[in-house]
């Protein structure tokens, strides 16, 4: 009975911090607003500023250790180009043939789309392909590529089914780009293209 509450646990502090804080951010962002209702500012605070503050003041490390750098820019740009090249036909036909995708994205076609999507996704990608990916990689190695894709996929619940089903694989792919380039920047460029192109197709820009 004396040993009932002896668990002999040895947690990795950084893994615990990343897991708990990232999960709370995702939940709180879903149910609350941090500012007066500006979604872009909320997402930059939640997905970019808070992780950076945790890295600097809790982990006491440099953000560069978490992919906040240019990294191997040649590999990064090459992989980004390949994702775009193969993504164009897949995204086009998936969106053009699925009315749920069209209904969900067509209203987001606006003059400020490039800037809006840039600001919206920059912190989002650092959150998953920077902070979580490289943080988990220290403990779990290559498996971090799949681990970071799980919360990414769950964060898409409520979006069109075909998109949500693909995100476990898309999250892995974006992670692979970040892993190879040692930077979240190129995964961000891939995601920026995917979102913007999907909105353009859904909005009927290409007929």
- pLDDT, position 3: 82
Q: The tokens of 154 are what? A: 């769950």
- Residue 131 burial (10 A CB sphere; 0-12, 13-18, 19+): buried
pTM value is: 0.94
Nearest Cα neighbor of 134 from 47, 185, 65 is: 65
Which two tokens mark 102?
């069209």
User: What's the Cα-to-Cα distance from 136 to each of 16, 29, 128, 175, rounded to whole Å?
Assistant: 10, 22, 10, 12
**pLDDT in the model for residue 38:** 84
Predicted local distance difference test score (pLDDT) of residue 36: 67
| Cα–Cα dist 160/198, whole Å | 12
What's the token pair of residue 57?
Answer: 């003041």
CB 125 within 8 Å of CB 44 = no
Contact 129, 1 (CB under 8 A): no
How confident is the model at residue 31, as a pLDDT?
A: 87
Block means of pLDDT (10 residues each) for the chain, length 207 residues? 83 97 94 78 94 97 98 98 98 96 94 92 98 98 98 96 97 98 98 97 89
Q: Is 114 helix (H, G, I), strand (E, B) or coil?
A: helix
Say if residues 15 and 139 touch (Cβ distance below 8 Å).
Answer: yes
């Amino acid at each position: 009975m004396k040993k009932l509450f002896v668990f002999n646990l040895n947690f990795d502090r950084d893994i615990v911090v990343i897991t708990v804080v990232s999960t709370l951010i995702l939940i709180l962002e879903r149910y609350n607003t941090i500012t007066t209702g500006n979604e872009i500012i909320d997402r930059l605070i939640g997905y970019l500023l808070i992780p950076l503050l945790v890295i600097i003041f809790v982990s006491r490390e440099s953000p560069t250790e978490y992919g906040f750098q240019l990294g191997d820019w040649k590999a990064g740009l090459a992989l980004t180009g390949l994702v775009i090249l193969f993504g164009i036909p897949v995204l086009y036909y998936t969106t053009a043939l699925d009315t749920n995708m069209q209904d969900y994205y067509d209203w987001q076609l606006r003059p400020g789309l490039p800037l809006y999507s840039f600001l919206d996704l920059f912190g989002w990608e650092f959150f998953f392909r920077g902070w979580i990916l490289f943080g988990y990689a220290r403990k779990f190695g290559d498996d971090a590529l799949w681990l970071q894709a799980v919360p990414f996929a769950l964060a898409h619940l409520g979006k069109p089914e075909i998109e949500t089903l693909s995100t476990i694989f898309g999250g892995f792919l974006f992670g692979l780009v970040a892993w190879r380039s040692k930077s979240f920047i190129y995964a961000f460029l891939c995601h920026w293209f995917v979102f913007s192109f999907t909105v353009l197709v859904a909005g009927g820009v290409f007929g």
